[in-house]
Amino acid sequence: MASSSKAKGGSVSDPRGVHSRDKIKLCNDILLDNFGPVVARVGTTILQRGRLTFRDITRFLSMPTSHPASGLDPSQGETPSLSTDPGLGASTTAPSSSSSSSLPANPIKNQQLIRAALLTLIQHHVCWHVSSDADGSLIRPDSPEGVQGVEYFQIDVDEVLARTRFGAYAAIIDVEWGSDASDVVMCVYKNGKLQAKEVIRRLCGQEGDEQYDHSRAERYEEIMRDLLLHYYLQPSSPISHTSANDRRLAYEQEEMTRVRRMLKPKERIEMHARARERVREDEEGVWKYTNAELAEMSGNATERKGVLKRQKRKAVTANGNGKATKKRRKDEGSRKKTSSRSKKSSKLALSDSEDDEAGAHAAGDDSQELYIDPQVFLRVNLDRFDVHIRDQAIFKATEARYNTTTAEVLSSMIDMSARLDASHAPSIRTPESRIINVHSLREHISPHMPLKKVFERNSIKDLFGSDTSQSGLLAEVIALLSCSDNIASRGSRFVGPSSSSELGSGHTVGAGGSRTPSNSVVQFDNIAKVLRGQLLRDVVESQFGTAGARVMTLLQEKGKLEEKHISKLCLITMSETRDICARLFASSLLALQEVPRSADRAAARTVFLWYVDTEKCISWLSDHLYKTMSRHCQRRREEERREQDLVRKVRRTDLESMAQEDQAASGGEVAVSTKGDEATDRTLSLLGVIERRRYLKLRKRLEIITLGEFKTAMNLFILYWASQVDS
């Protein structure tokens, strides 16, 4: 059953499967919009009950319930349909949850339907499934065929909540890689996982057809190869369908069975460390083959899974002198020019040996060209897209705290760290960046970056004197980000000194005399905590006023205080202090610490100290955002339900064909694409004036709701990022 939000602690997603009611309701709304009522009903049942077997899932779904989590009854036969209009989002013709929440949900007794729903969730990596024996040991995919166990299913809540950020993912891939790469990512994401050859077939058609374009298919192959090398796509493996927590517990169980005695505390800590290391090796094994696996494979395999290499020989003339003909050189030059971006991007993600091979290929010698394996199954690596969202959030936070130039310097440091760590998949779980040298950063940033704008114009000469070089100003900017002049605020600094002695130690003196470490790192954990604290203060201020936010900020900085000290430091009266503290205490944002002065613990001789319980605050904030996001989804479905007749008329395919015929008859150019607002605008021309006004008003309201959903999703991402860094 769903537990209270206090049981979750500070984590946005509890690995034990304990989730609050608001989180389960939001997950149900997301599954309902993306997969329909039956899949949402199955997924919500697993979320409410925890990990279940197929037999238990069937038993729980066969029992009628008077309080369904979904506002849609599968027996009514109405299924949600995904909208083709970006302004409308995912739509459904079902009634709202408020109108049908009191109606009993009919049981689902069709096991084939339940099995299809589970396969859909597994296909889209929303549901984990694992088989374990009677001892609790994990049955791996490479286990002998005779070994059997019980299969359990569990919902990956982080994967469900990440679907609210898919609009941001689509915008990122379109800006970074272009529309063709966006088509590839959209195709893979909508289908969960696909083979590389299946992606090409869906985008270019079947090979041998009249509409099949070989050049376009080759371009998509290069794009998929580059996306795989840059970790935007990842190979799908059986280990990715298993929870990391289940694997860790199974590895610890294996260690316990080997020892067969009680472990000492130190040995138990070492056992946990070995289990976590094996889990980390499993995550790295998704991307690369081991040496043993490479030895068993053919000679065209590389270390990266899904990437193969083929031999390319230079052309030989009839005379045998080894020189390419003029036409051959011209064709190779045009081909290199068209694929220069893909080759340049693929070199960034290769190892040193692969870089040498790519360089030999560019020189025209015998080399090995990389291409994607058509048999590999691909899925979207959401963690790579989350890194982009994290970088954007850091840029906006730095710009709001300092200025735009300082944010550009910090973004350059993050970009330089990503280039230094290009051989590993980027992740938002990283607590800090790679070591960045100040002198190397000076060569990385643009020489025309206006670093003087970081500081006040009139005080530059007074503070720095005549030394206003770029190197000195850059050192001062890093000193500003590292809070070198304030020891008390180092817990909230964005940049800190490196604790590793890999590149040596030393300091760089800035233009103003500030001593900055030569080797620095971007502290992502501090930035995440600062953004989470700022988000908490903003929400508290919106609900409890400025005085409530002032009390929360004071207690977060000072710790435990009495009412009289809170009143004095916050400049509010005692009556207002008691009222605000009582309201915050009722919302589980504040807690009381009793300090008795005597043994009888009388209230008159007891000091009561107010303090902030961080875990309860984060839990309260998470539930508040979950409820807000869920209400956005309900409001969008209700708006579409009110105008469902008009929406169905606009989406009719026969109206679309009629609009194209009218446009062609009038001499206008017929657009080939039918995505987004283009198809809608053509069908709107066939509607009446009143219907057109109604639909435009509906689309305007849905755009406002979508904007609210996007802002709430970004706030939820900050909490998710902070929880991943803390773990």
Three-state SS string over 659-673 comes to HHHHHHHCCCCCCCC
Query: Residue 375 has what pLDDT?
Result: 87
Query: Residue 662 has what pLDDT?
Result: 61
Lowest average pLDDT, out of 5-14, 84-93, 367-376, 595-604, goes to 84-93
> Looking at residues 305-315, what average pLDDT do you find?
64
What count of residues does the chain have?
A: 727
Query: Residue 90 has what pLDDT?
Result: 36
- Give the residue among 45, 181, 174, 187 at the shortest CA–CA distance from 117: 45
Query: Residue 577 has what pLDDT?
Result: 92
Whether the pLDDT of residue 678 is over 60: the answer is no
Q: Each residue of 38-50: pLDDT tens digit? A: 999 999 999 999 8
More confident: 93 or 104: 104
- Give the residue among 280, 269, 286 at the shortest CA–CA distance from 244: 280
Burial (CB < 10 A; 0-12, 13-18, 19+), residue 494, is buried
> Looking at residues 343-364, what average pLDDT do you find?
41
Element (H, E) at 681: helix 677-684
Whether the pLDDT of residue 726 is over 90: the answer is no
Whether the pLDDT of residue 36 is over 50: the answer is yes
Element (H, E) at 155: strand 150-155
> Looking at residues 377-392, what average pLDDT do you find?
93
Distance CA 470, CA 720 (A): 37
For every residue of 599-651, DSSP letters joined together read: TT--GGGEEEEEEE-HHHHHHHHHHHHHHHHHHHHHHHHHHHHHTHHHHHHHT
Band of the pLDDT at 143, cuts 50, 70, 90?
Answer: low
**Cβ(366)–Cβ(311) below 8 Å:** yes
Residue 193 tokens read as 């996982």
Band of the pLDDT at 581, cuts 50, 70, 90?
Answer: very high
Query: Residue 304 has what pLDDT?
Result: 81
Distances from the Cα of 696 to the Cα of 201, 367, 680, 688, 693, angstroms: 37, 58, 11, 12, 5
Band of the pLDDT at 93, cuts 50, 70, 90?
Answer: very low
Whether the pLDDT of residue 663 is over 70: the answer is no
Q: Each residue of 110-120: pLDDT tens digit? A: 899 999 999 99
More confident: 303 or 514: 303
Whether the pLDDT of residue 575 is over 80: the answer is yes
Distance CA 197, CA 182 (A): 17
Band of the pLDDT at 211, cuts 50, 70, 90?
Answer: confident
> Looking at residues 390-418, what average pLDDT do you find?
91
Burial (CB < 10 A; 0-12, 13-18, 19+), residue 98, is exposed
Whether the pLDDT of residue 565 is over 60: the answer is yes
Band of the pLDDT at 68, cuts 50, 70, 90?
Answer: very low
Highest mean pLDDT pick, 10-14, 103-107, 405-409, 422-426: 405-409
Angle of helix 244-259 relative to helix 265-285, nearest 10 degrees? 130
Lowest average pLDDT, out of 75-84, 394-403, 405-414, 653-662, goes to 75-84
Q: To the nearest whole percent, how much of the chain has pLDDT over 90?
A: 34
Q: Give the count of alpha carbons within 13 A of 205, CB side only.
A: 10
Terminus-to-terminus CA distance in the chain, angstroms? Answer: 25
Distances from the Cα of 657 to the Cα of 663, 680, 683, angstroms: 10, 12, 9
- Give the residue among 97, 81, 77 at the shortest CA–CA distance from 89: 81
Band of the pLDDT at 258, cuts 50, 70, 90?
Answer: confident
> Looking at residues 159-184, what average pLDDT do you find?
92
> Looking at residues 518-522, what average pLDDT do you find?
85
Query: Residue 160 has what pLDDT?
Result: 94
Q: To the nearest whole percent, how much of the chain has pLDDT over 70?
A: 71
> Looking at residues 257-274, what average pLDDT do you find?
86
Query: Residue 120 has what pLDDT?
Result: 94
Q: Give the count of alpha carbons within 13 A of 44, CB side only.
A: 27
SS3 150: strand
Whether the pLDDT of residue 75 is over 50: the answer is no
Contacts 24+ apart (CB under 8 A), 102-106: 102/66, 103/68, 103/73, 104/64, 104/65, 104/66, 104/68, 105/41, 105/64, 105/65, 105/68, 105/70, 105/73, 105/74, 106/64, 106/73, 106/74, 106/75
Whether the pLDDT of residue 98 is over 80: the answer is no
Helix/strand/coil (H/E/C) assignment for every residue in 638-660: HHHHHCHHHHHHHCCHHHHHHHH
SS3 content of the chain, % helix, strand, coil (to 5): 60, 10, 30
Query: Residue 355 has what pLDDT?
Result: 43
Whether the pLDDT of residue 3 is over 50: the answer is no
More confident: 181 or 500: 181
Query: Residue 683 has what pLDDT?
Result: 73
> Looking at residues 307-318, what average pLDDT do you find?
56
Query: Residue 488 has what pLDDT?
Result: 58
> Looking at residues 516-537, what average pLDDT do you find?
88
Buried b or exposed e, range 189-222, using 16+ CB within 10 angstroms = beebbbebbbbbbbbbeeeeeeeeeeeebbbbbb
SS3 152: strand
Residue 325 tokens read as 């003909």
Whether the pLDDT of residue 327 is over 50: the answer is no
Query: Residue 487 has what pLDDT?
Result: 61
Query: Residue 584 has what pLDDT?
Result: 92
**Cβ(408)–Cβ(490) below 8 Å:** no
Q: Each residue of 636-653: pLDDT tens digit? A: 999 999 998 888 888 777
Whether the pLDDT of residue 24 is over 50: the answer is yes
Query: Residue 463 has what pLDDT?
Result: 60
Query: Residue 133 has what pLDDT?
Result: 75
Query: Residue 609 has what pLDDT?
Result: 92
Whether the pLDDT of residue 182 is over 60: the answer is yes
Burial (CB < 10 A; 0-12, 13-18, 19+), residue 547, is middle
More confident: 453 or 648: 648
Distance CA 387, CA 368 (A): 31
Distance CA 535, CA 638 (A): 29
**Cβ(243)–Cβ(127) below 8 Å:** no
Distance CA 174, CA 177 (A): 6
Domain ranges of the chain: 1-177+614-663+674-727, 184-237+286-379, 382-424+432-522, 529-612
Strand 436-437 to strand 519-522: parallel, antiparallel, or no bridges (unpaired)?
antiparallel
Whether the pLDDT of residue 459 is over 80: the answer is no
Distance CA 241, CA 226 (A): 24
Distance CA 418, CA 439 (A): 17
Residue 256 tokens read as 């316990």
Q: What class does CATH assign to 529-612?
A: mainly alpha
Lowest average pLDDT, out of 4-18, 167-181, 201-215, goes to 4-18
Query: Residue 367 has what pLDDT?
Result: 37
Band of the pLDDT at 147, cuts 50, 70, 90?
Answer: low
DSSP bridge partners of 377: 195
Non-local (6+) Cβ contacts of 410 within 8 A are: 394, 395, 398, 481, 494, 495, 522
Supply the mean pLDDT for the chain: 77
Whether the pLDDT of residue 326 is over 70: the answer is no
Look up tokens 């003029």; give the residue.
326
Distance CA 693, CA 404 (A): 42
Strand 495-497 to strand 519-522: parallel, antiparallel, or no bridges (unpaired)?
antiparallel
Band of the pLDDT at 657, cuts 50, 70, 90?
Answer: low
Whether the pLDDT of residue 141 is over 70: the answer is no
> Looking at residues 437-463, what average pLDDT do you find?
75
Query: Distance from CA of residue 32 to its chain's centroid?
Result: 20
**Cβ(307)–Cβ(372) below 8 Å:** yes
> Looking at residues 522-537, what average pLDDT do you find?
92
- Give the residue among 402, 518, 424 at the shortest CA–CA distance from 471: 518
> Looking at residues 197-208, what average pLDDT do you find?
85
Angle CA 384–388–392, to nearest 5? 160
Residue 301's region, left for phi above 0, alpha for psi from -120 to 50, else beta, is beta
Lowest average pLDDT, out of 359-373, 390-404, 646-660, goes to 359-373
Distance CA 566, CA 611 (A): 11
Query: Residue 465 has what pLDDT?
Result: 57
Whether the pLDDT of residue 79 is over 60: the answer is no
Q: What is the largest CA-CA distance in the chain?
A: 108
- Give the residue among 222, 156, 228, 161 at the shortest CA–CA distance from 188: 228
Query: Residue 8 has what pLDDT?
Result: 39
pTM of the model: 0.81
